[in-house]
Structures are given as structure tokens and as C-alpha cells.
Amino acid sequence: MKKVSKNSSEYKKDIENDNIRERIKNIIKRDKKYNLRDLSRTLKKNDAYLQQYLFRGTPKILPEEYRHRLAEILQVNIKELTPNWLKKFIPEEKLITIKNIETNSLDNNYISISQKLLFDTDFSKLENLFFFQTITNKGMVTTIVDVGINKYTKPDLYLLHDKNNFFLAYIEISQVNNTKMSIKPYLETFYPFHISSEILKISGKALWQGSKVFQK
């Protein structure tokens, strides 16, 4: 059987992929606080995921969302974890980094997303943007909220705060009594309720939601 040799472009891709692996190994080796098992778990993957990627070459490249997440954790630019051949197929886009509004959450403190997802947002006030994550029966849902909007403006999804806990709810003026607000929690495990508009405290307004920020 004749052995099929790789062409020059495939060979170059393999070299670039290996260079990325070595770069990640060096970063982890340089900073002793990281280990492959914990990093894999942070990516929501099995304990051996990064071990297999770095030392066995499986997968050949990390999927985009895992590269973004790993870049955030290792505090490097995403381009450092992206092989040159792949950069040609990725459109240049401006990313913004957003902090978790639940400051006691140590696993996912920051995320980076494209500005294109928030096309009608005022980016001059990035300090008002936070993300909030909700665990549903279909998986994790990430919501970007603007804490600069802390009053009811129209029927929409808002972030509320009660007894040291954040939660999402659809809010609109009550059809029964226009001095009260109708609150429908985002999670169906909680019952809808009405509250006086005078005592309703809104922590922020939802701008965007997605379910695949950290999940493949």
C-alpha cells in the first residue's frame, strides 16, 4: 500500500497547531497556579480534556469558545492561542470583556464577547455592563445586563435582587392595577407575583442572552 504524504500546507498547519500547544504548556508551566484538570473543568469538559489536547493532539485545535475562555483564564490575548492558518478564516472583530455581577462566583468571573452582539449598546459606559448566568433544565443561559438602567422603561426582561440573590424576570405594568407591576420570574420554578411600582427595585435591564458561551 502506497503511503500518502502530507502536502506542504497541511504540514504547515500541523506545525502551527503544535506551536500553540507548546505556548499553552509554557504558560501553565510558568504560572504554577494552573493545572490541567482544573482548567478542563472550568471549560466544562472532562478532567483529561486538556491533557489529551496538549499531549495527544486530540482535538487538533481547540474550539473557538474554549480558546476564548482559556485565554481569559491564562490572561493572554486570544490571538496567542489561535494558529495563523485559522486567523485567515476568522473575521476581525472587537471583543469586550464583561464581569460577573455575582462577585462571589469564582469559576466564571469574566467573559469576552463580540460588540456585534450588542449592536445598539452605548460602549462608552462599559462599566455598566455585567453578565449573569442562570441554570435551566436545558443548560446554562448567560445574560448581559446594563445596571445603568435601573428603572422600568417598557415590558422586558430585567434583573432583580432579593435577599442577596439576583434573578431574572419579565416585568410589565399590571393589567388589573396600573400602580402595580406584574413580575414573571425567568425560571418557571418560581411563581409570578405583583408588586407596587413604588417599592420595585430593578438592578439592571437584559440586553442579550445566549446559551453557548461556554458550552459546545
At 97, which helix (H) or strand (E)? strand 95-100
Residue 61: what pLDDT? 82
| 108 residue type, one letter | N
- pLDDT under 70 in the chain at which residues? 1-7, 87-93, 104-108, 119, 211-216
Are the C-beta atoms of residues 85 and 13 closer than 8 Å to each other?
yes
The total of other beta-carbon atoms located within 10 Å of residue 205's CB is 21
Residue 85: what pLDDT? 75
Residue 212: what pLDDT? 55
Per the CATH hierarchy, to which homologous superfamily does domain 105-210 belong? Umud Fragment, subunit A (2.10.109.10)
Domain boundaries, the chain: 8-87, 105-210
Residue 2: what pLDDT? 45
74: region left, alpha or beta (phi > 0 left; psi from -120 to 50 alpha): alpha
* Fold held by 8-87: 434 Repressor (Amino-terminal Domain) (1.10.260)
CA distances from 92 to 15, 78, 79, 197, 199 (A): 23, 12, 11, 45, 45
